[in-house]
Amino acid sequence: MSRLVYILNGPNLNLLGKRQPHIYGHETLADVERDCRALAKELKLDIAFHQSNREYELIDWIHAARESAGGIVINPAAFTHTSIALLDALNTFEPPVIEVHISQVHKREAFRHHSYVSNRADAVMAGFGTQGYQLALRRIARLMEEAAAKRA
Ligand code: DQA
């Protein structure tokens, strides 16, 4: 079974740490990647960590994940609230998907309360700060183990 997890990040997350730090905190995306890689080692997972401001690139990575990955952790950022195309792509991917939001989107503007991606996600993390990525990674490791046990 694949131990590869794709961790995908949508638009503006390249500015993490500089962008509205009162909402998203001071950690950069490079910090998040470093912490995910350290945890992945512990969990014996391989990770492919990507960020793009372009919807089609996220879709292409989801298609690539179909060929090789056992799970996806995705922070679709603003595409969460707009992209049926991302939802359609995730619907072609069978293994576990966890949606992550650094901020507590339900406490924010009404337009952030709806997520197309939640229609597919097996779990949603919101408001855990950047720690949400690590919690999602731990959970996805568990879901992947459960799926493997079922297949055995
Ligand atoms: C976000 C929340 C989204 O509403 C927003 O557009 C983002 C980041 C978060 O991580 O809290 O860009 O996904």
Q: Which of the following is catalytic: 101, 113, 116, 133?
A: 101
State yes or no: is 50 an active-site residue.
Answer: no
pLDDT of residue 1: 61
Burial of 122 (0-12, 13-18, 19+ CB in 10 A): middle
Rg of the chain (C-alpha set): 14
Q: Does the pLDDT of residue 57 top 90, yes or no?
A: yes
Q: Which of the following is catalytic: 6, 22, 24, 50?
A: 24
Q: How many alpha carbons lie under 13 Å from residue 82 in its C-beta half-sphere?
A: 7
Closest C-alpha to ligand 1, atom 12: 77
Report the C-alpha gap between 99 and 125 in whole angstroms.
6
Q: Does the pLDDT of residue 77 top 90, yes or no?
A: yes
Ligand 1 pocket member 82 (CB < 6 A): no
For 119-140, write each residue's pLDDT tens digit: 999 999 999 999 999 999 999 9
Q: What is the pTM of this model?
A: 0.97
For 30-53, write each residue's pLDDT tens digit: 999 999 999 999 999 999 999 999
Ligand 1 pocket member 103 (CB < 6 A): yes
Residue 103 φ/ψ, nearest 5 degrees = -90, 165
Angle at 138 between CA 44 and CA 29, to 5 degrees: 90
Cα 102 to middle of ligand 1, angstroms: 7
Closest C-alpha to ligand 1, atom 1: 77
* Complete DSSP assignment for 18-77: TS-HHHH-S--HHHHHHHHHHHHHHHT-EEEEEE-S-HHHHHHHHHHHHHH-SEEEEE-G
Q: How many helices (H) and strands (E) does the chain have?
A: 5, 5
Domains observed in the chain: 4-151 (3.40.50.9100)
Q: Does the pLDDT of residue 5 top 80, yes or no?
A: yes
Cα 52 to middle of ligand 1, angstroms: 14
